[in-house]
Amino acid sequence: MMKSITGTIQSCDVLREGEKNGRKWIMFSVIINGEKFTTFDTKYKEHIGQEATWEYEEKQDGQYINKTLSKYPETKVSDKNVDKNVDETMIKAFGIIRGDIKALKDAMEIGFNSLKEIINSITVEEPTPSNEPSVTKPIDNNDIPIIEK
């Protein structure tokens, strides 16, 4: 009987290995939400932590109930949700970074404007011949060297 379970793949470990008619096979034990399933599909091992709705077949074998996972689906609805969550997280992260850059730019502009005010307020005495009075003038901004990285 086919059933489904919604949950996260918690683990996928080798249960048994063998060879039949010259072909090797591996049976995996997969735990989803604490329930144990078996499968021959290696893709479940590659997707530990993946949340989705998983299909499995349930068969009574004497006193035991075997739960065999169906082949790993190529696309899952929740894969899109994971992508959407990643996209939303990236958008938030870029927004935070953009805000930090703007704050840094604003702080630098304030600092630069303050520095310009300080530079404009600095005066220097120009040397004059000893018989003339000294002259004070503001520093020319063009006299300040620009340092580039």
Final residue of a structural domain among 19, 53, 72: 72
pLDDT, tens digit, 9 for 90 and up, residues 30-64? 999 999 999 999 999 888 988 889 999 999 888 98
> Both 15 and 45 in a single domain?
yes
Last residue of a domain, one of 51, 72, 93: 72
Phi and psi for 124 in degrees, rounded to 5?
Answer: -125, 150
Q: Is residue 35 part of a domain?
A: yes
**Model confidence band, residue 77 (pLDDT cutoffs 50, 70, 90):** very low
Please check whether residues 63 and 79 belong to one and the same domain. Answer: no
Q: Are residues 85 and 136 in the same domain?
A: yes
Q: For 129-143, how does the pLDDT look when each residue is reduced to its tens digit (9 = 90+)?
A: 666 665 555 555 565
C-alpha span between 140 and 1 (Å, rounded): 88
Please say whether the beta carbons of 68 and 93 come within 8 A: no
Number of compact structural domains in the chain: 2
Residue 149 lies in a domain: no
